[in-house]
Amino acid sequence: MFLLLKKNWKSSIWTIIILIFCSLPSSNLPRTSIINIPHFDKILHFGIFFFLALLFCFENKNIVYIFIFSFALGLFIEIEQHYLISSRSGDIIDLIADTIGATVGIIVCFIKKKFN
């Protein structure tokens, strides 16, 4: 277990950050004018899972693992928000944005590795 965390320390830290921020009640989230952009939360979901996939991809070559982990994390977060955090709501579109972000991250990493 320690070796896995040592090998994947960047993606492990990013996963913890994702879990912390996605588990906060909505009242604890910052309010800025940028958040008023339509569907900004979907862009944010895409971005954080894109970055997660990139981190995992450069630390671990198993694309199937990266995809399954990213999907499972997104699913867990949406279930947690729906059932356990009263001021948040689970959203299937957020899960789709997570999955698309992770998939694009994997594709970008794969292309970068192929041409290096």
Q: What is the count of structural domains for the chain?
A: 1
Report yes or no on 75 lying in a domain: yes
Domain-embedded: residue 49: yes
Task: Render pLDDT for 17-63 as a digit per residue (tens, 0 to 9).
Answer: 999 999 988 765 656 655 567 778 899 999 999 999 999 998 877 89
Are 82 and 99 in contact by the 8 Å Cβ rule? The answer is no
The overall average pLDDT reported for the chain is 87
Above pLDDT 90, what percent of the chain?
A: 59
Would the pTM of this model clear 0.75, i.e. be above it? yes
> Is 16 inside a domain boundary?
no
Residue range of the domain that includes 80: 40-116
Q: Is residue 12 part of a domain?
A: no
Residue 1: band (very low, low, confident or very high) from pLDDT cuts 50, 70, 90: very low
